[in-house]
Amino acid sequence: MIESYHARIPVPSETGSRVAILGGGIAGLSAGYFLRLHSVPFTIYEAKPYVGGNCITFSCGEFRFDSGPHRLHTEDEGVTSLVKSLLGSSLHEVHSPNQVYYKGRFVDFPFSLFSFARDLGLAEFARAAYAYLRSRSSGGKSNDLRSFALSTYGKSIAERFLLNYSSKLWGVSPELLSATLASTRLKGLGVRSVLTEAGRRSGKDHREGKFYYPSGGIGKIVDVLAAHCGRSNIVLESRITEMHHNGSRITSIVANGKGIPVDGVISTLPLPHFIRMPCPPAPAEILESARHLVFRHVLLVGLLLKRPAVTSNATIYFPSREFIFTRIYEPRNRCPTMAPAGHTSLVAEIPFGGRAHSSLIKVIKTDGVFAPCDQRRVTERVISDLVKVGLLQCEDIADMVVVKMEDAYPVILTDTHARRALIHRYLDRFENLKLIGRGGTFRYTSIHHVLRDSRDAINALLGTETIGRVAEE
């Protein structure tokens, strides 16, 4: 079930009154888009000198790559129709599979019956299927990811694919992670997808990996939303530091030291940071709960290559701690214009920070400052790992780039729901506040979830149907 947060914001009735949208990522921009559809005045405040947040496209000469292996899923017809209407012919359908690297093999992901049997053996599949069927019949529920994975997929599959990958991605032991992550971030990495493939004649349809993607990169969505919002409604390099209230309503915000009266606030800012902004401040127990909500940051290492292609995959996952990265992606497999003719690129994603720093990346400083020697050591490790698995040779590399993405993944622990609920109960007192987006709600969400949540938030604000609702998950 998708959670909803906070009461309705009264629609401004006075001329010149405004809704303040905190954060110019895809959540804030989509909220602005829906507000402008109904002529509701708003201003987006973004601390960076550009919009897009953690959903942008970088350029390096003729090469382009996204801030992650982004894609648009098709599970929400309303959101899909919206994006199609916004992007028109620049949105195209992609059929590019994913794989998992395991002991020298590239295994189809999500697993198909045929690839699973071929790469891991029928005996292993039989044991995994038995564990899955047994868990379905028992009806038991697990609170932590480790227990859930073991009871659902069996020890062999869980340890090989789920648990190692999870500890690398979130930087903590799986027994501390919430089992809810198995239905979000790890969806498809298990036996259910294998069983659904059993009746198919071949694994081809399974491997196609259908999704939508805009020509020129995921940043195209950001550009279109920003254009619809209107540049005059977006204030860049405007950092929000305080949020003044009277106990039941937010009355003003402080941006770059200047107080700004507001009629309503929609926040996409990371929840642990946002909760420190109220004046008067939140109670000590609320601030203490927020201290336990942490994000993982991501380091992206882009290798620009002097070869036309490396693989046909959209993304390849690396569960083993033998490798410094959790996954790699080849941008031109989403869109051919992401690299010049005869060239391609690979981008490695390395999570770090949060509650525990991975021993694999101690060379990275945690204060956000990267010395040249740190970047060199990280890129050398990435290159070494990719050469080891046979994906490239050193002479293939034309150039490289390193990018840091902050607050990329909320770390959802077994106690996160209770701590988050406590914070939300406090924020519920502000009748003119809404939280949206991955950071604002501290939930792991994809682009289509963010667009849907923004739509639904504005629907609640206006008491209308913007692009139509779908059943909540």
The pLDDT mean for the chain works out to 82
Q: Which helix (H) or strand (E) holds 348?
A: strand 344-352
Quick one: fold of 294-410? Polyamine Oxidase; Chain A, domain 2 (3.90.660)
Residue 293 has pLDDT above 80, yes or no: yes
Q: Which of the pair, 1 or 168, is modelled with greater confidence?
A: 168
Quick one: fold of 111-200? protoporphyrinogen ix oxidase, domain 3 (1.10.3110)
Residue 257 has pLDDT above 80, yes or no: yes
CB contact at 8 A, 222 and 230: no
Coil/strand/helix, residue 271: helix
Burial of 94 (0-12, 13-18, 19+ CB in 10 A): middle
- The segment(s) of the chain belonging to CATH 3.90.660.20 are 294-410
What residues does 42 pair with on adjacent strands? 19
- The segment(s) of the chain belonging to CATH 1.10.3110 are 111-200
Q: Residue 353: name the closest of 295, 436, 292, 283 by CA.
A: 295
Residues 156-164: what's their mean pLDDT?
Answer: 80
How far is it, in rounded angstroms, from Cα 37 to Cα 458? 10
Q: Residue 338: name the closest of 302, 362, 371 by CA.
A: 302
How far is it, in rounded angstroms, from Cα 466 to Cα 36? 11
Residue type at position 93? E
Question: Tens digits of per-residue pLDDT, 370-400?
Answer: 444 477 888 999 999 999 999 999 999 999 9
- The segment(s) of the chain belonging to CATH 3.50.50.60 are 19-54+218-292+414-462
Tokens 């959802």 correspond to what residue?
412
Q: How far is C-alpha 31 from the geometric centre of its chain's CA atoms?
A: 18
Question: Tens digits of per-residue pLDDT, 61-92?
Answer: 999 999 999 988 777 788 889 899 999 999 99
Coil/strand/helix, residue 135: helix
CB contact at 8 A, 266 and 434: yes
DSSP string, 31-94: HHHHHHHTT--EEEE-SSSSSBTTS-EEEETTEEEESSS--B--S-HHHHHHHHHHHGGGEEEE
Question: Tens digits of per-residue pLDDT, 318-366?
Answer: 999 899 999 999 999 999 999 999 999 999 999 988 653 333 333 333 3
Residues 201-211: what's their mean pLDDT?
Answer: 53
Burial of 307 (0-12, 13-18, 19+ CB in 10 A): middle
CATH code for residues 19-54+218-292+414-462: 3.50.50.60
200 Cβ partners below 8 Å, 6+ apart?
112, 113, 206
Q: What is the pLDDT of residue 161?
A: 78
Residues 83-107: what's their mean pLDDT?
Answer: 89
Question: Tens digits of per-residue pLDDT, 393-439?
Answer: 999 999 999 999 999 999 999 999 999 999 999 999 998 999 999 99
Q: Which of the pair, 308 or 126, is modelled with greater confidence?
A: 308
Phi–psi pair at 172, nearest 5 degrees: -135, 165
Cis peptide before 280 (omega within 30 of 0): yes
Please report, for residues 3, 50, 268, 289, the alpha-carbon distance to residue 443 in angstroms, rounded to integers and kept in the order given: 10, 24, 12, 15
How far is it, in rounded angstroms, from Cα 26 to Cα 12? 23
Coil/strand/helix, residue 3: coil
pLDDT band at 457 (very low <50, low <70, confident <90, very high): confident
pLDDT band at 184 (very low <50, low <70, confident <90, very high): low
CB contact at 8 A, 447 and 55: yes
- Write down the pTM of the prediction: 0.86
pLDDT band at 199 (very low <50, low <70, confident <90, very high): very low
pLDDT band at 106 (very low <50, low <70, confident <90, very high): confident
How far is it, in rounded angstroms, from Cα 9 to Cα 15? 17
Q: What is the pLDDT of residue 78?
A: 84
Question: Tens digits of per-residue pLDDT, 8-20?
Answer: 444 444 434 589 9
CB contact at 8 A, 178 and 61: no
Q: What is the pLDDT of residue 88?
A: 93
pLDDT band at 149 (very low <50, low <70, confident <90, very high): confident
DSSP class of 385: H
CB contact at 8 A, 378 and 404: no
Residue 38 has pLDDT above 50, yes or no: yes
Tokens standing for residue 126: 């039989």
